Amino acid sequence: MPGLRLGLAILPDDIKETFLTHKRFDDLNSSVLTQAAFHLYLESGMFEKHIMKVRKAYETKLSRIIGYLKTIECDKLKVSNPDTAFFIWLELDKSINSNKLTKKLEDKGVLVTPAKVFFLNEDSIINGIRLCIANTSDKDIIKGLDIIKALVL
């Protein structure tokens, strides 16, 4: 299927030449048509409108999911307020092994990531899981949360 592809990199001066040398191995030049289309997209205000629309959609989605999470929160499951509308962190009681829970959830079709993979310092690790909600329907998220609650209780 035809499409436009454009990448953007803001590089420090000291690596710019090396980067451009390697880029030329991949392609000799960037499409002027693609660059011109992107320029028009930015200049017309369409990009800003798109960003506002996406932010509103994610804020609404996050608000609905957080509202539902408040109804299932319990002693063994605590919701950490997310900084973005892409991920939700669930902190687990110390009695729950996040790796075992992750495997049980995977067996039931619910994909989560143990929180420990996101921490470099072992002292900072929380016992929990991270759920990506960005590209999942509200219905599927709620179904997954119900499965999580059933396994945690």
Tens-level pLDDT at each residue, the chain (153 residues): 456 677 778 899 999 999 988 887 777 667 788 888 888 999 999 999 999 999 998 888 888 888 888 888 788 888 886 777 788 888 898 999 999 999 999 999 999 999 888 888 776 677 899 988 888 888 998 999 999 989 988
Which domains are delineated in the chain? 13-48 (no CATH), 61-152 (3.90.1150.10)
CA atoms within 13 A on the CB side of 31: 10
C-alpha–C-alpha distance, residues 63 and 134, integer Å: 13
What is the end-to-end Cα distance of the chain in Å, rounded? Answer: 48
Whether residue 103 contacts residue 114, with contact meaning beta carbons closer than 8 Å, is answered with no
3-state SS, residue 139: helix
Which residues face 147 on adjacent strands?
none
- How high is the pLDDT of residue 28? 66
Closest CA to 133 of 98, 82, 75: 82
Q: In what order do the strands lie in the sheet with 128-132?
A: 77-80, 87-92, 128-132, 113-114
**What six digits make up the tokens of 8?**
């953007």
Q: Do the strands 128-132 and 77-80 form a parallel or antiparallel pair, or are they unpaired?
A: unpaired
Q: Is the pTM value of this prediction over 0.85?
A: no
- CA 143 from chain center: how many Å? 19
